Structure 1
Amino acid sequence: MQQIFDQLTPAQKREAERQLSLYMSGAQEVIPPEELREKLAKSIVTGSPLKIKLGLDPSAPMQGYDSVVLESDIELGGTDQHFNVLMGRHFQEKYKKEKQVVILMPLLEGLDGVEKMSKSKNNYIGIDEDPNEMYGKTMSLPDSLMKTYIHLATDLELEDKKQLVKELETGAVHPRDAKMLLAKTIVRMYHGSAAAEAAEQQFKKVFQQKSAPDKMTDVHWKGGETIPLIDLLAALELLPSKSEARRMIQNGGVKINGKKAESIHENMTVQDGMIIQIGKRKFVKLKMDK
């Protein structure tokens, strides 16, 4: 299996390894790397096209052919699309077209610090979210992601980005202060300076001074005056289900008028103006409808 590969020159071996890495990024792990390496070596030596019957991402050829039809000059994609976008260059060459320029951008990890940011994974910051929610979500970022977000998610000048990252690395700025600047910058980009300043002040009031925010969403209650807390949370749709409400209470994530709910069996006397807090950032004020 290694016979042809071993006959390659060092430059050809490097090229084979480069192509191997590229092709395996689009495979489903059904082709052993050593087998694909030998096929690549044979293709390089003989100049014959590489033929693989199994293992490639089936969307890659279709996406590649798009570049031929569109006669695209530039294709922009994430690093996870490396194989697919280069397939476009391959097809353009075969159809005697000028090959497109490929620009690959790094992926932005989500709030969990593991997966790429995605609404389906609920680890995202939405550009149309409420300023307070946007600020709070940014402040929940792991410290390890701050450098990435400073470079990829802000419109700061390049030198300002480099300076902020340097101060973080040397300890010249506290991570909390750098993260507050990051949060304020992101809110300012999508909601304006006034909203960014207001979001920062609310964050300080809620999280540093442990006070309720000045502005809260009103929720309306038409039921009885006494009800189990779990039923109240579910009826107001503050949590998606009773089981989720039960879990949140058990984890200490529900407060009524600033007091932590201690029991999942607690009965509530519903009062007009009662403040319900879910988690760290969600506050609502209950209005009794007569």
Structure 2
Amino acid sequence: MKWEELTRAQQQEVERQLEVVSRGVVEIVPEEELRGKLMKSVVTGVPLNVKLGLDPSATDIHIGHTVVLHKLRQFQEFGHVVQLIIGDFTGRIGDPTGKSETRKQLSEEDVQRNAATYKRQIFKILNPEQTQLLCNSDWLSLMTFAEVVNLSSKVTVARMMERDDFTKRFQGGQAISIHEFFYPLMQGMDSVENKTDIELGGTDQKFNILMGRTLQKEYGAEPQVVILMPLLEGLDGVKKMSKSLGNYIGIDEDPNEMYGKTMSVPDELMLRYYEMVTDLSSEELAALKEALSSGKAHPRDVKMKLAYTFVRLYHGSAVAESAQQHFITVFQQRLLPENIEIYNLAAAELENGKIQLAELLTRIGFAGSKGEAKRSIKQGSVKLNEVKQEEMNGEFMPVNGDIIQVGKRRFIKLHLV
């Protein structure tokens, strides 16, 4: 199919789709094949199969994970079909990408529990009617040993050792288990099995996704196009967003917490967040960039809009309005929020009417242990009735209406029962 054979309207539609799906992308392998696939789809009316593989290795999804989900949603808006592959089989091995040692294999219970959470959260972004939700155990677990041996013959050890993480571990004398070599092969077989046209992933997934192209060719299928998305920096503005690093915004977090965390995003990252993890159109993004560069928009206001957008996306517009008002009241006007959660404290459990502050913080869930509570007090994060507390082992006599505050966003009002 040649470009000049398309009508003017078809050419414009291909260009429109190519411009949108290329926005914010790091690399397309190869770009001319993406254009060809879009041309074929526009002319025939047959949607493309666009794949994302997710290993359920964590309990929930954060904003960093949604970079690829928003890109998938763009494909859906053009009528294409998303193949969301839950790696309930590959997840038991664990992706060795970027790891300096063999990953601990997840149990079946861990995989199923995490997968259930993923399924609930992803449809906050994706259209379920245009999403094929698939589990790769449905085909990988059925492969015979002979089929596995045949699969392994398709790729050499030298090719596997092209991966930086494998090379570094080998040179450093660290163990590499044979089953780790099978991870990219299994991910590639997901594409073979489902006749995938395009696969998305982060830049750290390049080797694994390219393996899909390799195996599709080996099995006589048309190879997929690879679209690599950037890894989103976390709230520290430096390292990749990660729950383990604490620099993340969870999409299921409390709306006030989500709003407040977003307000700590470095100014220089605001537009990147808008581009990669919101539903802002290209036109709206261009207008926002112009307003910032010309000084028509204040960075604080732009960041508040970003915080509002995140809460709206994952909790709805009404909740976003409430979270924004909470932020304005508590942080801009330095007032206490109007609706503070009440904690019922049993007076009978108090010793001489008193309680240790660290013990109370642990009871109400503001600290995971007394040790953690004492560290918060030492760091100056704890206030009683708006007065900073400094004595780690301090006691006080609670009365109805006492307000405990930890950090900038957590409040509780005491009620003795």
| Short-chain TM bin | 0.7 to 0.9
Q: Distance in 2 between matches of 1:187 and 1:73?
A: 33
Q: 77-86 vs 109-118, which deviates more?
A: 109-118
Q: Spell out the pairing of 1:1-290 with structure 2 (5 A cutoff).
A: 23-25=162-164, 27-29=166-168, 58-222=182-346, 223-224=349-350, 225-289=353-417
* Residue 18 of structure 2: aligned partner: none
Q: 1:140-172 deviations in whole A, cap 9, x for unaligned?
A: 212232121111122122122122233334544
Per the TM alignment, residue 240 of structure 1 is displaced from its structure 2 partner at its CA by 0.8
Matched residue SS, 2:411? strand
Higher mean C-alpha deviation, range 94-103 or range 56-65: 56-65
Q: Distance in 2 between matches of 1:281 and 1:30?
A: 43
The alpha-carbon distance between structure 1 residues 64 and 25, as it changes in their structure 2 partners (threshold 3 A), is farther
Q: Alpha-carbon deviation of 1:80?
A: 1.2
Give the AA of the match of 2:281: E
Match of 1:41 in 2: none
**Matches of 1:82 and 1:167 in 2, distance apart?**
36
Would the aligned equivalents of 1:27 and 1:57 in 2 still touch at CA under 8 Å? no
Unpaired segments of 5 or more residues in structure 2?
Answer: 1-158, 172-177
Q: Distance in 2 between matches of 1:31 and 1:234?
A: 46
**CA 1:229–1:106 in structure 2 vs 1: closer, same or farther (change >3 Å)?**
same
Name which one, 1 or 2, has greater alpha-carbon Rg.
1
Q: Report which stretch shifted further, 67-76 or 252-261.
A: 67-76
What TM-score comes out, normalization by structure 2 length? 0.55
The 2-side partners of 1:28 and 1:285 are apart by 56
Contact 1:26 1:57 in 2 (8 A): no
State the alpha-carbon separation in 1 of the partners of residues 363 and 319 from structure 2.
31
Deviation by residue 1:186-229 (Cα, 9 ceiling, x = unmatched): 22222333322221111011011111111122222122120121
Where 1:27 maps in the other structure, the secondary structure is: helix
Query: Which AA in structure 2 matches 1:27?
Result: F
State how far apart, in whole Å, the 1-side matches of 2:268 and 2:295 are.
Answer: 14
Query: How many pairs were matched up?
Result: 249
Report SS of the residue matched to 1:262.
Answer: coil
CA contact (8 A) 2:382 2:407 kept: yes
Deviation at 1:30, TM superposition (A): 5.1
Per-residue Cα deviation, 1:4-52 (whole angstroms, up to 9, x for no partner)? xxxxxxxxxxxxxxxx9x93445342578xxxxxxxxxxxxxxxxxxxx
If asked which structure has higher relative contact order (CA below 8 Å, sep 6+), I would say: 2
Identity %: 51
Match of 1:48 in 2: none
Structure 1 residues 271 and 160, CA, compared in 2 at 3 Å: closer, same or farther?
A: same
| Distance in 2, Cα, partners of 1:237 & 1:202 | 21
Instruction: Check conservation: 2:374, 2:393, Cα contact below 8 A.
Output: no
CA contact (8 A) 2:191 2:216 kept: yes
Contact 2:192-2:219 at 8 Å conserved across structures: yes
SS state at 2:234 partner? coil
1:96 alignment partner AA: G
